Structure 1
Amino acid sequence: MDFTLVDLDDDDRAFLTEVRDFLAEHVTDEVRRRDRDTGDNFDEGVHLAIGAAGYLEKEWRPESEGGFTRVRRRIWELEKRRVHVPWVTWGTTSMVARAVAAFGKPELVDEVLPKVFSGHVRMCLGYTEPEGGSDIATCKTRAVRDGDQWVINGSKMFTTGAHNCQYVFLITNTDPGARKHKSLSMFLVPLDLPGIEIQGIRTVDGDRTNIVYYSDVRVDDKYLLGEVNGGWTVLRGPLDAEHGAVASAPDGLQDVTIMAHQAGFMSAAVDAVAARVARPGPDGRRPVDDGSVAYRLGRSTARLEAALSTPSIFGRVSQAQTMRDISADLMDIAGPASVLPIETDGAADDGASEYLYRFAPLAGIYGGTLEVFRNMIAQHVLGLGKPAYAAPANK
C-alpha cells in the first residue's frame, strides 16, 4: 500500500482554501445542531448553496465532462467530511441521477438533471417493503399500465429523505407471474402526486427515515426508466454503488471502501475516549495508566484502523461490525458519564461513544443487513453455494 502524500500545486492549494472558506460560511454550528435535532442528514440552505456554487455538478461529472480533477475531488470529499456536511440526500440523489441519465427518456433527463445540479431536485430510494426485508426482488408494490399512465399501489419502508425530496426511485412489480428478477420495473415517481403519503419514523440513533404509502398513484409513462420488466438492469448500478461492490481507482484518491463518512463517527469516538482517559482524575491518576484500560483502548484503535483499511464490500462489513464491537468497550472505558449524550454537561467524551453505540446497529442495516452482505461475499467472491435455511428433512 502506498502511504505517500499528494503534493498540492498552487492552484490546488487555492482550491483547498476556497472550499474551506465556503464550507465554514455555510456549514455553521447552527446547521449541525439543527441536523442533530431533526435527524434529516440534510439542510436545504446548505444544499442549495453548494448547487449554486457549481460544486454538485462538478462532483457528479467526471473530469472529462467538466467535473473535478481527481485531486480536487478528494479535497472536496475530505473537507465535506471534516465539517460534517449533512450528506445523505445528496448521496441518494447522485446515484439515482446516474440511472436517470442512463435509462431515462430525453424529456425526463432534461426535466430532472439541471435541477439536480442546482440543488432544487433531490431523489430518494424506494426499495424496501414492510414485509420484504433486504431482498428487494420480492417486491409486491404493483404498477399496472392504464393507457399512457401507470397506476401504483403499495408501500415502502426506510425511504430516507422522502420528506425532503421531489422524486423517489421506485421499484415495482409489473408482472407477478414472472420470475422475481424478471418482474420488476423502475420508475422515477414525483412525490407530489395525489395518493402518496409520507410518514416519518425515528431510529434509535435519532435519524429520521420514512414509510411511504402509494394508493392509486397515477404516473405518466415518461417516468418509466428503461424497459418494462427490465428494472433489474436499471437497478444494478445503484445497488452496486450502495453495496460498495465497485472497482477502486488505481490512483488511490478515494476512500478504501464506502461508509467512510459513517466510520468517521467511530474515529471521533476513539479520539474522544483516548483524550478522556489521558487526563488525570481527582486522585491524580490517569485512567490510561491502568494496563487493562490501555489494552482495551489499544485493541479498539487497532480494530478501527483495520476496518478503515479493508477494501470494497469486505470493508463495508468490517466497518459496521467494528462499530458494534468497540462502541460498548469505549463507553465502558470512558466511565458512567459516557452515557450522557452530546452537549450535555458532564458527558465524559461529549457524547461521542454514546452516539456511536446507538448508531452502530443502524450502520449494519443500511443497504442490507450484515448477514446479507456476508452471504454476498460467500456466494459471489468465495464461490460458495447459497445458504439453506430450511429445516433438515426427516428420513
Structure 2
Amino acid sequence: MDFSRVELTGDGQAFLDEIRTFLDKNVTDEVRRRDRETGDNFDEGVHLAMGEAGYLEREYRKADEGGFSRVESRLWALERRRSHVPWVTWGTTILVSHSVEAYGSPELCEEVMPGVFSGHVRMCLGYTEPEGGSDIATCKTRAVRDGNEWVINGSKMFTTGAHNCRYVFLITNTDPNAEKKHKSLTMFLVPLDTPGIEIQGLRTVDGDRTNIVYYNEVRIPDRYRLGEVNGGWAVLRGPLDAEHGVVAADADGLDDIAILQHQGMFMGTAVDKVATIVERPGADGRRRIDDESVAHRLGKAVARIEVALSTSNMYGRVAIAQTMRDVAPELMDILGPASVLPVETDGAIDDGASEYLYRWAPLCGIYGGTLEVFRNMIGQYMLGLGRPVYAPVKS
C-alpha cells in the first residue's frame, strides 16, 4: 500500500484553494450550529450556492462530460468533510438522479434534472417500512393502476430528508400475488407535494431528523414510473449497491475504499482530540498518557480505527460501524465524567466529540441495512457460506 503524499499540480492547487475559499465562506459556524439544532444534515443556502457555482453538476458528471477530474473529485470530497458540509440530501439525490436518467422518460428527465443541478430539486429514498426492517423487498405499500394513473397507499419509515425534498424514490408492491417477492415491485418518482402525502418528523438518538411518510390514496400519472411494471428490482439495484458500498472502486486509488468513510474520519478526529487531552499535564503535573492502562487502551483504539479505515468494500462498512460502537465508550471512559457533556456545553472536555460519537455509532450500524444484514451478505455472497436459516431446528 502506497502511503506517499500526493503533490498537487498548479491546477490542482488552484482548485483546492478555490473550493476552500468557497466552503469557508458558505459553511459557517452558524450553518453547523443550525444543522445540529435541526438534525436535517442539509442546509438550503449552502446547497443552492453549490448549485449556482456549478459544483453539484460537476460532482455528478464524469470528467469527459464536464465533471470534476479524478483528483478534483477527491479533493472536493475531502474538503466537504473537513468543512462538515450538511450533505446527506445531496447524497440521496445523486443516487436517485442516475436512476431517473437511466429509467425515466425524456419528459421526466426534462422536468427533474435541471433543478437537480441548480440545487432546487432534491430527492429522498422511500424504502423501509414500519414492519419491514432491512428487507425492503417485503414491501407492503401498494400501487394500483387506474387508467393512466396509479393510486398509492401505505407508509415508509426513515425517509430522511423528505421535508426538504421535492420527490421520493418510492418502492411499491404492484403484484401481491407474485410467486417471488422481487417480481412484485415497481419504482416511482413521486412528487412530495401530491395530495394524500403526510410527512412526520422523527428524531434519532444522535439528534438527526428522519421521517415517517404516509401515503393515503395518492394519485400520480404513469409518467412518474421508473422502469417496467413489476421490474422495480432492476431499477433499484444500482442505487442499492451504491448505498451498500459494494460498487467497485477505480484502480487509481482516488475513491473511498469503503462507504462510511465520512463517519470513520469523524471517529479519527475524535480519537485525535482524546490523544491531545491525555498528553497535557494536569493540575498535579501528571499526564494521563503516562498511566500504562490509558496508553494501552488509547493505542488499541487508534489501531482499530486505522484498520477499519483501511478495510475495503463491504468489509470496511462493517468494520467502521462496529469500531465506532466499540471505541466510543472506551474514549469516554478514558476522559472521565466530563466526556458525557455534548458539544458547546461548558465543561465538555473534548467539545462533545466522543459523546456524539457514542450516540452516532448505533445509527451507523443501521444506515442502508443493519450490521447483521451485511454480515449475512458477506457470508453468503463473498465467502460462499450459503443462506442463513432462522427457522427453529427440528429435532
**In 2, distance between residues paired with 1:21 and 1:269?**
25
Is the counterpart of residue 279 in structure 1 residue 280 in structure 2? yes
1:14 is aligned to 14
- The aligned residue for residue 270 of structure 1 is 271
Q: Distance in 1 between matches of 2:136 and 2:343?
A: 36
SS of residue matched to 2:348: coil
Determine whether 1:138 maps to 2:138.
yes
Q: How far apart, in 2, do the equivalents of 1:148 and 1:316 lie?
A: 42
Paired residue secondary structure (2:215): strand
Q: Give the corresponding residue for 1:128.
A: 128
Asked whether 1:308 is paired with 2:309, we answer yes
Return the alpha-carbon distance in structure 2 between the equivalents of residues 216 and 347 of structure 1: 49
Q: Does 1:317 align with 2:328?
A: no
Corresponding residue number in structure 2 for 1:35: 35
Are 2:174 and 1:155 aligned? no
Q: CA deviation at 1:329?
A: 0.3
Letter in structure 2 aligned against 1:367: G
Aligned to 1:203: 204
Alignment partners' CA distance in 2, 1:8 and 1:261: 23
Aligned to 2:82: 82
1:353 partner amino acid: S
Query: In the TM superposition, what is the alpha-carbon distance from 1:3 to its structure 2 partner?
Result: 1.7
TM-score normalised by length of structure 1 = 0.99
Query: One-letter code of the match for 1:269?
Result: A
The equivalent of 1:165 in structure 2 is 165
Amino acid across the alignment from 1:114:
P
SS at the partner of 2:33? Answer: helix
Residue 264 of structure 1: CA displacement? Answer: 2.0
Indicate the residue corresponding to 2:215 in structure 1: 214
Q: Give the Cα separation in 1 of the matches to 2:393 and 2:251.
A: 47
TM-score by length of 2: 0.99
CA distance in 1, matches of 2:6, 2:278: 34
- Whole-angstrom distance in 2 between the partners of 1:75 and 1:266: 20
SS of the aligned residue for 2:366 comes to coil
SS at match of 1:389: coil
Q: Deviations over 1:312-337 (max 9, x none)?
A: 11000000000000100000001110
Give the Cα separation in 2 of the matches to 1:147 and 1:61.
37
Any idea what SS the aligned residue of 1:391 has? coil
Task: Tell me the CA shift for residue 119 of structure 1.
Answer: 0.2
Shift of 1:5: 2.4
Question: More deviation in 180-189 or 249-258?
Answer: 249-258
Q: Specify the alignment match of 2:96 in structure 1.
A: 96
Instruction: Write the distance in 2 (CA, Å) between the matches of 1:5 and 1:329.
Output: 31
Q: Distance in 1 between matches of 2:107 and 2:127?
A: 25
For residues 263 and 192 of structure 1, what CA distance do their matches in structure 2 show?
36
Instruction: Supply the AA of the counterpart residue of 1:32.
Output: R
Helix, strand or coil: the match of 1:5? coil
Deviations 1:164-192 (A, max 9, x none): 00000000000001110000000000000
Q: Which residue of 1 aligns with 2:394?
A: 393
Q: Determine whether 1:379 maps to 2:380.
A: yes
Aligned residue type for 2:10? D
Long gaps (5+) in structure 2: none
> CA RMSD for the aligned pairs?
0.6
1:349 maps to 2:350: yes
Residue 167 of structure 1 aligns with an amino acid whose one-letter code is Y
Query: How many Å separate the matches in 2 of 1:385 and 1:10?
Result: 52
The number of aligned residues is 394
Deviation of 1:6 (Å):
2.2
1:170-209 residue pairs with structure 2 within 5 A? Answer: 170-178=170-178, 179-209=180-210
1:49-108 per-position Cα deviation (integer Å, ceiling 9, x unaligned): 000000000000000111000011111111111010001000000000000010001100
The letter of the residue matching 2:133 is G
Q: Find the residue that maps to 2:344 and give its secondary structure.
A: coil
The unaligned stretches of length 5 or more in structure 1 are none
Give the partner amino acid of 2:377.
M
Alpha-carbon separation, structure 2, partners of 1:131 and 1:312: 29
Q: Pick which of 247-256 and 321-330 moved more.
A: 247-256
